[in-house]
Structure 1
Amino acid sequence: MKTPSDLTPREAVRRYLDRRSTELSESSVRTYRYRLKLWVEWCEDENIERVEDLTGWTFEQFEAFRSGQGIASPTLHGEMETLKGHIEYLERIEAVDDGLADKVHVPDVPDSEMSRDTMLRPEDAEDLIRYYRTHDNVYGTRFHAALELAFHTGARLGALRGIDLRDYHSDEQFVEFVHRPETNTPLKNQRSGERSVSLLSEVCDAIDEFIAHNRPSGHDEFGRSPLFLTYHENRVSKNAFRAWIYRATQPCVAGTCPHNYDRETCDFRRHSTASQCPSSRAPHHVRTGSITWHRDRGFPPEVTAERVNASQEVIEKHYDKASQRERMELRRRPHLGKLEIE
């Protein structure tokens, strides 16, 4: 009878991913699968046939191999962190000796490298949104509605495309984010990602205009009525919604092109090439800018965390892009009066 220690690296990874799939989002499972696929292929190239053959030297060699391929420090950090979690699972099922996971080295990465510096700057977002709100030719378009909702909620791409008409409450001025994996709109943090987020009346006005005049009627393949549909009357895909945001955030929408391209002939104005515009931004960059904007506007950390569905620690480390000087001016200086000695 085959024992846990007889598992091949490939079999062990398959079992691990099967177990984790019940507690992780689909996107997280895909990330884990890709990272561990590299580990399995390396093990097979090195003729490592059973997990009981793994040692600290094995992990050291794998880390050196991946590092030698010139990958970025955060990428190596993520791969080794995932591998460590996998080895902890093997310890739990007694496939390897206790303590083996401690021999997996997860390299430290400076915060400046771990965080993502690219974002839709709050001042740029404000300029774009002011333009959309004051120009009839773009007011209430899909680009306008998508940007308004993305920037004011700080929501992730998957959460935004998963909104149904029933989730948007114009009169009460809020939107619900609901985990519906059975009909292909899961939330990253599953049930814990469900929340209601309040909206300003100006945001609701833009969404109402979109629904009334620019939203195609239709249902998805599950009979649901998405807020955002394509003109083929299907729920917008992630790639399509991403392209909408790229188009919505191009600076030439509200002003002159900073790269001196002619707006009328620029190749980047097309749906398929919008992402190549040097100044357009992806949904994640909008989320990053939104979180920084919330913080700079004085939103308490715990309120921001609940609104965008991220821990305060993650927000501080990965999303909040205000500089030290900006933090002093925008967040701390207004509180100086509390320190006055009467």
Structure 2
Amino acid sequence: MSRKRRPNPEDLSPREVVKRYLKRRRADATDASVDSWEYRLKLFVEWCEGIGIERVGELQAFDIDEYYDIRSGKIRPSTLEAEMWTLKKFVEYLEQLGAVENLTDAVRIPDVDEDDRSDETLLEESPALKLIDHYRNDDRLRATRRHAFLEIAWHTGARMGGIRALDLRDANLDENYLEFQHRPGTDTPLKNKRRGERPVAIPSEVSDVLREYIHGDRHDVYDDHNRQPLLASMRGRPGTDTIRTWSYLATLPCYYCPCPHGRERDECKMTEFAHSSKCPSSRSPHQIRTGSITWQLNIGIPPEVVSERVNAGLDVIERHYDKESPLERMERRRRQYVERMGVDL
């Protein structure tokens, strides 16, 4: 009986090798990371197929350079940087397989200015606190799901995946803290896996709101794994798109002030579920996280404490999340340090 001939790595198609590569990476990366790599490499595969590259062994440095030039004319520098890093890791894998030789150095990574890399949009302190105050004092809105979401997102600075992962059992309201747990086997992984697990203290006023929400507006449902999500939809645990929409709805400014864009609330489609993301003043979960981290730093919580609360490194917080102006940072230093420099005789 003859053995089946094993394929040479260089004879595999780009689509086949990408599929193989992503399967390998799922063992050491989160589903969200693999999904983003899959999208970026899908674009590269489609480009290869479009120009007639049927085997990865055909790839040359000129092809990589050509792809860079095409993508650089279509997307932002920060997006290009992410795509090229993903492509570089994939080409390294091709070299490990023996499908190509000396091709990794041909993958150019753009030198991105920090201003291009970091998204400056955030939910600022003033509208956030005005929204929360309005929710707390409006009998129709207090302890609704969108109110509960905003209280959690603002007072913890957690990622959207962490908020989605919260169960009823994670809300330790008598002790005023929320417990973030990595549960990948039941569809709620945390970005940093076990390193992302942590208790996060919340003010007692937030616990009061969540307690009212649980006993009132919350849907008493279970998810597909027989768990009870804290923030529940009618069908169980919401998907990320649903939570993102809740975020847009929760941050509409017309709850607490006249529309800053000159529209009438009763006639504005952007107050509707399907169109809330189009409001220029509504904010995504990531933008709430950015604003929350800046606010926590601004009110004097030490950066190392904020780092633990939001599960992000100090360098990442400074580079991507701390959006204060130089003057605001000076004022923060004044409050924390300079005012201690008085001379007492």
Which interval holds the TM-score relative to the shorter structure? over 0.9
CA distance in 2, matches of 1:44, 1:266: 45
Secondary structure class of the residue paired with 1:264 = helix
Candidates 283, 286, 290, aligned match of 2:285: 283
Of the structure 1 ranges 99-108 and 199-208, higher mean CA displacement relative to structure 2 is found in: 99-108
Candidates 56, 75, 80, aligned match of 2:79: 75
User: 1:251 maps to which residue?
Assistant: 253
**1:71-125 deviation digits (Å, cap 9, x = unpaired):** 111111111111011112222333332x431221100111111101111001211
The number of aligned residues is: 339
Letter in 2 for 1:89: Y
Say if 2:163 is the partner of 1:160: yes
Say if 2:142 is the partner of 1:139: yes
Say if 2:95 is the partner of 1:91: yes
CA distance in 2, matches of 1:111, 1:29: 25
CA distance in 2, matches of 1:38, 1:313: 31
Q: CA deviation at 1:339?
A: 5.4
Q: CA deviation at 1:305?
A: 1.7
User: 2:3 maps to which residue?
Assistant: none
Of the structure 1 ranges 308-317 and 73-82, higher mean CA displacement relative to structure 2 is found in: 308-317
User: Which residues in structure 2 correspond to 1:123-134 (within 5 Å)?
Assistant: 123-134=126-137
Letter in 1 for 2:28: E
| Long gaps (5+) in structure 2 | 1-5
User: 1:270 maps to which residue?
Assistant: 272
CA distance in 1, matches of 2:187, 2:165: 8
Whether the 8 Å contact between 1:296 and 1:331 is mirrored in structure 2 is no
Whether the 8 Å contact between 2:300 and 2:336 is mirrored in structure 1 is no
CA distance in 2, matches of 1:298, 1:59: 48
User: 1:5 maps to which residue?
Assistant: 10
Candidates 17, 20, 24, aligned match of 2:22: 17
CA distance in 2, matches of 1:272, 1:48: 41
Secondary structure class of the residue paired with 1:175 = strand
CA distance in 2, matches of 1:245, 1:266: 18
User: Which residues in structure 2 correspond to 1:104-115 (within 5 Å)?
Assistant: 104-115=107-118
CA distance in 2, matches of 1:213, 1:331: 43
**1:158-208 deviation digits (Å, cap 9, x = unpaired):** 211221101110111111111222222222222222221111111101101
Q: CA deviation at 1:56?
A: 2.4
- Aligned pair in 2 of structure 1 residues 341, 92: CA closer, same or farther (>3 Å)? farther
User: 1:183 maps to which residue?
Assistant: 186
Q: CA deviation at 1:233?
A: 4.5
CA distance in 2, matches of 1:128, 1:176: 25
User: 2:152 maps to which residue?
Assistant: 149
TM-score (normalised: structure 2): 0.92
Whether the 8 Å contact between 2:15 and 2:45 is mirrored in structure 1 is yes
Q: CA deviation at 1:307?
A: 1.2
Say if 2:325 is the partner of 1:323: yes
Secondary structure class of the residue paired with 2:337 = helix
- Aligned pair in 2 of structure 1 residues 7, 341: CA closer, same or farther (>3 Å)? farther
Whether the 8 Å contact between 1:155 and 1:287 is mirrored in structure 2 is yes
User: 1:55 maps to which residue?
Assistant: 60
| Long gaps (5+) in structure 1 | none
User: 1:37 maps to which residue?
Assistant: 42
CA distance in 1, matches of 2:104, 2:334: 43
